[in-house]
């Protein structure tokens, strides 16, 4: 991630990946459901995860690091949000998906935090009054299968008002859903071809890039990727 948190607002760039191109993609109307080798988390799993996360939580407020769709489609209401920088990880399309925005026949890719580099996002402060309930909602959204492709971790963030520690979700490199390293061209082709009952991976990418632009950030990796996906969809 090479964008910087700056004073004032950067004017959003003109994206090549547009709603008109996204509209060309048609997917199934119904949910294909989990795969034959996938096991859904149950209430007991979420209770255990919630207890483990809270046991390791630093004193004070519970902060959540939003680097992907939590930026533009939060799981819960937050009391405060701050631009934040995470060092040591970057956002990357490195997780297979075969449901929601893809199918088993045409798998797609979703974002996760991968080792190396840095990542700009938002630190979201959850309400103390509903903290445990809100944490449960976040865990149920981010960790659907077991074992999960995400690992909940307490991450040290930098903000303009000082450092803080927030809960974030990094890629589980031992998960079969971890893609390993993919070229930008391969990543673009997979994203352009994946559509599920909730929409397309290309739509997810479009929302991600556009909302980062609105925040005054430019993720150069994702900016190049949206242009490559646009070319794929336009048949260029």
Per the annotation, the verdict on 184 as an active-site residue is: no
Residue 136: per-residue pLDDT: 95
Percent of the chain whose predicted confidence (pLDDT) is above 70: 95
- Over the chain, what is the mean pLDDT? 92
Residue 152: per-residue pLDDT: 96
Residue 159: per-residue pLDDT: 96
Out of 11, 42, 132, 142, the active site residue is 142
What structural domains and CATH numbers belong to the chain?
A: 33-180 (3.10.490.10)
Q: Which of 10-24, 98-112, 156-170 has the lowest mean pLDDT?
A: 10-24
User: pLDDT digits over 101-131, tens only?
Assistant: 999 999 999 999 999 999 999 999 999 999 9
Backbone angles phi, psi at 151, to 5 degrees: -120, 120
Q: How confident is the model at residue 36 (pLDDT cuts 50, 70, 90)?
A: confident
Q: Which of 68-72, 92-96, 167-171 has the lowest mean pLDDT?
A: 68-72
Q: How confident is the model at residue 8 (pLDDT cuts 50, 70, 90)?
A: very low
Distance CA 180, CA 114 (A): 10
Q: How confident is the model at residue 147 (pLDDT cuts 50, 70, 90)?
A: confident
Long-range (24+ apart) CB contacts under 8 A made by 52-55 are 52/152, 53/135, 53/139, 53/152, 53/167, 54/132, 54/135
- 122 or 1, which is more confident? 122
Residue 9: per-residue pLDDT: 52
């Amino acid at each position: 991630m090479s964008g910087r948190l700056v004073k004032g607002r950067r004017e959003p760039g003109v994206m090549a990946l547009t709603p008109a191109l996204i509209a060309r993609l048609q997917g199934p109307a119904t949910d294909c459901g989990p795969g034959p080798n996938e096991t859904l988390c149950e209430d007991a799993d979420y209770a255990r995860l919630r207890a483990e996360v809270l046991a390791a939580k630093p004193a004070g407020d519970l902060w959540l690091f939003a680097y992907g769709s939590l930026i533009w489609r939060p799981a819960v209401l937050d009391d405060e949000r701050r631009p934040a920088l995470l060092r040591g990880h970057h956002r990357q399309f490195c997780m297979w998906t075969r449901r929601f925005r893809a199918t088993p026949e045409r798998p797609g890719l979703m974002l996760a935090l991968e080792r190396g580099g840095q990542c700009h996002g938002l630190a979201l402060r959850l309400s103390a009054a509903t903290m445990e309930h809100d944490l449960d909602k976040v865990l149920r959204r981010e960790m659907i299968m077991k074992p999960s492709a995400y690992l909940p971790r307490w991450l040290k963030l930098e903000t303009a008002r000082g450092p803080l520690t927030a809960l974030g979700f990094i890629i589980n490199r031992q998960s079969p859903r971890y893609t390993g390293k993919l070229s930008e061209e391969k990543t673009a082709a997979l994203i352009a071809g994946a559509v599920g009952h909730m929409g397309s991976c290309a739509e997810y990418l479009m929302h991600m890039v556009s909302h980062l632009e609105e925040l005054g950030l430019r993720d150069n990796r994702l900016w190049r990727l949206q242009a490559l996906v646009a070319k794929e969809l336009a048949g260029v």
